[in-house]
Amino acid sequence: MINSTQVLYFTLSAYFDTGVLKYLYFIITMSLYICIVVTNVFLIVVICMHRSLHEPMYIFLCSLFMNELYGSTGLFPFLLIQILSDVHTVSAPFCFLQIFCVHSYGAVEYLNLAVMSYDRYVAICHPLQYNRRMTHKQVAVLVAVTWLWPCFALVVLFSLAAPLQLCGNIVHKVFCASHSVVKLSCSDISAINFYGLVATFGTIFGSLLLIFYTYMKIFLVCFSGSRQTRQKAVSTCTPHLASLCNFSVGACFEILQSRFDMSSLPNMLRIFLSLYFLTCPPLFNPVMYGLNLSKIRVTCQSLISKAES
C-alpha cells in the first residue's frame, strides 16, 4: 500500500454544503440502497433454493447479483455517513479498501457479462453440446476466474503504488478511486498509469470482444433458424444486452471523469455521473432479469402467492 505514515487521511472535495437538504439526500440514498439489497438478495435466495434454477445461466446470474451487492456495499454505507458528515475525510486504509472494492466490482461485472454471453452462445449455437461444455466443473472455473482475476490485477496495481510518495491528500470525488489518488503523487507515475490503462482496457475490451463475437454468432443462427430459436434468443439475450449497455455507459462516464478535466460541468451532475455505474446497474439488473426470464418470473410469482396465502 501507499505509505500510510505519509498520508493518514484523504479529504473528499466533491461534496458541497447542502444544508437541511442533506437529510433528504440521506433518505433517498438509503432508500436506493435498501432496494438494491432487497431485490438482489431476494433473487439470490430464489436461485439458490430452487433446484430448477441450478443451471449455468442462473448460476452466472447469481454471481452477477452477488457482485451488485458487493459493489453497492463498497459505496453506499460510506456515502450515507459522508452525506450527514460536515467533515468529508476518510482514513488512508479505508480509502484503499474502497478502491479495491470499487475497481474489482467493475472488473467482475464485465467478466461476468462476458461469461454469460459465452453461456448463451453455447446454448443457442451448440445446443447438443451444451451439457458437455458447460459442466459443473467448467461453470465453477469460469466463476472463479471472474472473481479472482480482478483481485490479482489489483494486487499488482497496489504493489506498483507502494513506492509512490504523495504530495497531497485532496481527492476530487465523493469516493476513493485509484487514479484520483495516484494523481496526488510527486513520484514518477508513468509505470502505474501504463499498467492501469492496460489492465482496464484489457479487461473491458477483452470482455467486449468476447461478447461481440458470441452475439455475432448468435445473430447468424437466429437469422437462419426457426421462429422458436429466435424467440429463445430474444428472451435470454435482451436483458443481457440491456445490462451490458447500462453498465458500459456508467463505466464510460467514470473513466472519462478520471482521465479528463470535467470541472466545467455542474458539481451535482459530476457526482451523479461518477456514481451511475455503482447505483443504476444494481437497481436495474434484478428488475430486468426478474421480468424477462420466465423461469425466474414464474418462481418469484409462486413464492409471492405462497406468502400471501
Assign 43 to helix, strand or coil. Answer: helix
Residue range of the domain that includes 178 = 9-308
With cut-offs at 50, 70 and 90, classify the pLDDT of residue 252: confident
Averaged over 193-220, what is the pLDDT?
90
The lowest-confidence range among 195-199, 228-232, 249-253 is: 228-232
Answer yes or no: is 81 within a domain. Answer: yes
pLDDT of 146-168, one tens digit each?
Answer: 999 999 999 999 888 878 888 88
Average pLDDT, the chain: 86
Answer yes or no: is 233 within a domain. Answer: yes
Answer yes or no: is 1 within a domain. Answer: no
Residue in 150, 125, 152 with CA at minimum distance from that of residue 63: 150
Residue 32 is predicted with a pLDDT of: 94
Question: What is the tally of structural domains in the chain?
Answer: 1
Residue in 36, 70, 46 with CA at minimum distance from that of residue 293: 46
Residues 6+ apart with CB under 8 A from 288: 239, 242, 243
> Does the structure show a pLDDT above 90 at 98?
yes
pLDDT of 170-205, one tens digit each?
Answer: 888 888 888 888 888 888 888 888 898 898 888 989
Q: In CATH, what number is assigned to the domain containing residue 187?
A: 1.20.1070.10
Torsion of CA 256, 184, 271, 255, to 10 degrees: 20
Answer yes or no: is 123 within a domain. Answer: yes
Answer yes or no: is 20 within a domain. Answer: yes
Answer yes or no: is 36 within a domain. Answer: yes
Answer yes or no: is 2 within a domain. Answer: no
Answer yes or no: is 3 within a domain. Answer: no
| pTM of the shown model | 0.90
pLDDT of 64-80, one tens digit each?
Answer: 999 999 999 999 999 99
